[in-house]
Amino acid sequence: MDSFLPFLMFVGFLGLIIAWHVFEHKRSVQLIQQWAATNGYRIIALEQRWLRRGPFFWRSGKYHTVFYVDVIDPQGMARAIWVRCGGWISGLFSDQLDVRFDS
C-alpha cells in the first residue's frame, strides 16, 4: 500500500499537466475566434506553434501561446496571421492578443 501512494501522486500530477494544456489550447482558440468575429475575419485553419513562433520568437514567454492562423479578411482575401495569446503576468487569464500579419 505504501508503494501505491507515489503512483497515485504521479498520476494526479500528470492529470494536472494535461488539464492545464487543454485549458491553454481551448482558451487561446476561444480568444482568437472572438477576435476574428469582432474584426470580420473568417478562420480557415489555425495551428499552435511551439518552436517556430514567427515574429514572437524572442518576444513570448512561458505564459503565452502562439498560433499561425489562415483567415479570409472582410474583403475576401486570404491572409496569414501570427497571434500571441495572453498577458506577460496574467497569462491566459487575460484577454490580451497580439496580432501580426504575415508578409
Average pLDDT, the chain: 87
**48: its cell numbers:** 499552435
Nearest to 25 by CA among 6, 1, 49: 49
Nearest to 45 by CA among 74, 67, 22: 67
pLDDT tens-place string over residues 68-94? 999 999 999 999 999 999 877 777 777
Q: Identify any residues that bridge with 27 across adjacent strands, giving them in sequence order.
A: none
pLDDT tens-place string over residues 16-35? 999 998 998 999 999 999 99
* Count of alpha carbons within 13 angstroms of residue 75, beta-carbon side: 3
Evaluate the CA torsion angle 24, 26, 28, 31 in order and state its sign.
negative
| Annotated domain spans of the chain | 4-101
